Structure 1
Amino acid sequence: MNDFFLANNRSITIKVLGNDVEVKQLQMHNFDIWSPIASPIRDSLKQSDYSDLIGAGLVKDYGAHVFQLCSLCTNTEIETLLDLAESDPLEFSHLFQHVIDVNGAYFKEEIRPGLQTRKKKGVVEQTWFDSFQYLIAYGHRHDDILQMTYGAFVGYLKAAEKYQRNRGKFDSNIIRAAHHADKKGFTTFQDELSKH
């Protein structure tokens, strides 16, 4: 899914046994509800990409998680999903694959933002509040962050980190130029910065 799909909280509609089923993105406001459900599925998918065989294994090993996740991400009740999995396992597997694909920002990410436990002395543990504050420092509002999709949240975090790194490089270049330049050279450098 592309950046605009993530940022606009778009969904897709698929046909399942002739009925329209909307597959939605997971959002930050209920992260505490869906993350424990989705986490074991994500951890299992780290070993390989999704396939019908992998999906069948996930249903076998984490059935409750799979059905709860599909219910959270679609407009379909768990009972209907259970019936679908029993009557047409392949059709259910395709639905489940769409849930994984639409929420690929969570299921395929390599580095997770937010809570990271560090065991070394002197290193402060990062919390979700730190991630939220980081985005707030770059102009986002708390309520807006909660309404973001998980994919948009991660995208904005990466963009803010990139901006901070680039800003750090820029600032260090200015410090170096100021340190090594004579007064005339530094004045010329400042004039050049003012033009941009």
Structure 2
Amino acid sequence: MNDFFLANNRSITIKVLGSDVEVKQLQMHNFDIWSPIALVIRDSLKQNDYSDLIGAGLVKDDGAHVFQLCSLCTNTEIEMLLDLAESDPLEFSHLLQHVIEVNGAYFKEEIKLGPKNRNKKGEAEHTWFDSFQYLIAYGHRHEDILQMTYGTFIKYLQSAQKYQCNRGKFDANIIRAAYHADKKGFATFQDELSKH
């Protein structure tokens, strides 16, 4: 899914046995509810591309998680999903594939983000509050962050990190120019910066 799909919290509508089913993105405000369910599925996928065979294996090995996730990501009750999986396993597999694709930011994520309280040396490590504060420092509001989809949240974190790295390089260049320039040269350099 593209950046605008993520940023606008879009969903897709698919036909399942003649009925419209909306497949939604997972959001940050209920991360604590969906992440334990989705983690089991993500770990089972192990970065493999989805196929109907893999979908059948997920239903067989992690069925409870699969049906809960599909219920959270669609406008469909678990009972109806169970009936669909029993009556038309291929159709259910396609629904699951769409759920995974719409939420690809989570399921195809290379590194696992998440809080850990302490490392082996007993030092405090990164928490979700640190991630939220990082975005707040770049102008986001707490309430807005909670309404973001997981994909949007990750993209904003990556953008803020990129901005911080670029800003660090810029600041380092200014310090270096100031250190090596004479008074007149530095005044000229500052005038150039003021023009932009």
> Any idea what SS the aligned residue of 1:80 has?
helix
SS in 1 for 2:22: strand
2:147 equivalent in structure 1? 147
Residue matched to 2:73: 73
Match of 1:162 in 2: 162
Q: Which whole-Å CA distance do the structure 1 matches of 2:179 and 2:171 have between them?
A: 12
Alignment of 1:95-114 (within 5 A): 95-114=95-114
Structure 2 unaligned spans of 5+: none
Query: Which residue identity is paired with 1:186?
Result: F
- Please state how far the C-alpha of 1:45 moved relative to its aligned partner: 1.2
How big is the alpha-carbon RMSD for the aligned residues of Structure 1 and Structure 2?
1.3
Output the CA distance in 1 between the equivalents of 2:156 and 2:47.
27
Could you tell which deviates more after superposition, 136-145 or 44-53? 44-53
Alpha-carbon shift at residue 65 of structure 1 (Å):
0.1
Alpha-carbon contact 1:103-1:151 (below 8 Å) kept:
yes
SS of corresponding position for 2:49: coil
2:30 aligned with 1:30 = yes
Give % identity: 86
User: 1:119 is paired with a residue of what secondary structure?
Assistant: coil
Cα offset for 1:113? Answer: 3.1
Residue aligning to 1:180: 180
What's the CA shift for 1:117?
A: 6.0
Equivalents in 2 of 1:21, 1:60: separation in Å?
Answer: 23
8 Å Cα contact 1:114-1:130 kept in structure 2: no
Is 1:113–1:154's contact at 8 Å kept on the other side of the alignment? no
CA distance in 1 between partners of 2:108 and 2:27 (Å): 16
**Partner Cα distance (2:5, 2:134) in 1:** 23
Equivalence for 2:124: 124
Q: Structure 1: give runs of 5+ residues left out of the alignment.
A: none
Who is 2:87 aligned against? 87
Deviations 1:3-33 (A, max 9, x none): 0100110000000000000000000000000
Secondary structure of 2:76's counterpart equals: coil
Using the size of structure 1 for normalisation, the TM-score is: 0.96
Change in 2 beyond 3 A, CA 1:123/1:179: farther
- After TM superposition, the score normalised by the length of structure 2 is 0.96
Question: Which has the larger displacement, 46-55 or 29-38?
Answer: 46-55
How many residues are paired up? 196
2:47 and 2:108 in contact (8 A); partners too: no
Distance 2:163 2:93 in 1: 40
